[in-house]
Amino acid sequence: MNTRTHLWSTDLLPELRLGLENLRAHKLRSLLTMLGMIFGVAAVVAMLSIGAGAQQEVMAFIEQLGVRNLIVEAREAPDNQALQKVRKLSAGLSFQDLRVIQSNIENISAASARKRFTPSKLMPKPLAGDSPVVYGVSPSYAQIGNLQVASGRFFDESETTSAAPVAVLGEAAAAALFGADDPIGRYVKVNDQWFRVVGVAGPQLTVQSDVAGIPAQDRNNIIYVPLYSSVFRLEDGQSAQKDEIDGIYLQMTQGSDIPGAAAMIRGILDVAHRGAGDFTIVSPAELLAEQRRTQRIFEMVMVAIASISLLVGGIGIMNIMLASVLERTREIGVRRAIGARQRDVVRQFLIETTIISLTGGVAGIIMGVGLSQLIGVLAGWSTIVTTSSIVLAFGVSVFIGIVFGLYPAVRASRLDPVKALHYE
């Protein structure tokens, strides 16, 4: 047996047993002392898991938009009066805008306009849920939007040019219109036009709220049709106030200056629309960077708030250990009288506070994980328990326990042995 192992067995193990016996002798008091650490750690783990779940969902959605993409969204007027004011300056987004952008912006590898509407009539009728939204797009939209086709195919350029009556269904739209049946080769009637289904898109991530100008929408509940389909000509005839198109999707080449291109597009459209402010430019790359910065700030704030519970728990440990020092003054005097050094007394009390912190930390982690899962089930939120949140919460709890237990331990070690032996 080497010297280090000998010191461990002769010094630490007996003190560890003594610490456990002292804590067991006051079970209720020990449990109440641990509660502050338990709730503090649980709060840190649960809050970080909820935040991580929400942030990851949004970041995954932004990544799906494409970090090399730029999206121009038409901004809807809040009321008819505001719309009339905008129309005096601008006719809204148009194919002309797309052509001007393509002529003046370099390094565009793919582009697609988009026009959408919610049909007033659909056949077959949706089995459940909201009615699918119709998207008129170019074939390049599948590449730009990272749209994977689960079965069948996406329509091609010739079908777009000839306005062929073909359609690709989103996953939810296919389920709503045809249930479990295979929709490939079947027909869908949108308002007064029939479309033959040639493909079904794979699942797309969606978010429940607007993200930087992109409206919240179930991206799986969409019917994709060629942009020049006659259904859009009929739709346009219903209102002279509608934009020619309501979205422009651009994919830049690898290594392009995305922020610079976004600034140039904004300048071009501001001039063309005479400063009407009827559009929004979305840069997923900038959104992703901003979201990551926001996540770091959010995590720091959540940790700071939840750490208040840990701080209260640390104060509880200090309070209880100070009371324990008074109760065990004669015991400390006896230990000092028979040769115990100050550091032995300090170590004895620190072992007890460490046991409280470790036990409270483990129990808090279990409670925090369970709480985050319960919130996820009851509230329908996405929660992610990360290793970093567990390590952070556990490490902070142990640190606070040791720091707040240090003062009572030092105070106990400095008691005068003679006075301690005569203490009543």
- pLDDT tens, 25-37? 777 777 887 887 8
pTM above 0.85, yes or no: no
pLDDT of 8: 42
Structure-token match 């449990």, residue found:
31
3-state SS class at 213: coil
pLDDT of 317: 80
Nearest to 12 by CA among 258, 281, 354: 354
pLDDT of 11: 62
The separation between the first and the last C-alpha atoms of the chain, rounded to the nearest angstrom, is 43
The Cα–Cα gap between 219 and 31 comes to 50
Tell me the pLDDT tens digit for each residue of 238-282.
Answer: 444 566 888 999 998 888 888 889 999 999 999 999 888 888 888
Note down pLDDT in tens along the chain; length 424 residues: 455 544 444 566 776 776 677 777 777 777 887 887 888 888 888 888 877 777 776 766 666 677 788 889 888 777 778 778 887 888 888 889 999 999 999 889 999 999 988 888 898 888 777 789 999 999 999 988 888 899 999 999 999 888 889 999 999 999 999 988 899 999 999 988 899 999 999 888 765 555 555 666 778 899 999 988 766 665 554 444 566 888 999 998 888 888 889 999 999 999 999 888 888 888 887 777 777 777 778 777 777 776 777 777 778 788 887 877 777 777 777 777 777 777 777 877 788 888 888 888 888 899 988 888 888 888 777 788 888 778 888 888 888 878 888 888 787 777 777 666 655 5
Q: What share of the chain is helix, strand, coil (3-state, %, to 5)?
A: 55, 15, 30
pLDDT of 212: 56
User: Which residues, at least 6 apart from 212, have a Cβ–Cβ distance to it below 8 Å?
Assistant: 280, 282, 287
The Cα–Cα gap between 351 and 17 comes to 10
In 165-283, where does DSSP find H-type helix?
A: 171-178, 230-236, 258-272
Tell me the pLDDT tens digit for each residue of 58-87.
Answer: 766 666 677 788 889 888 777 778 778 887
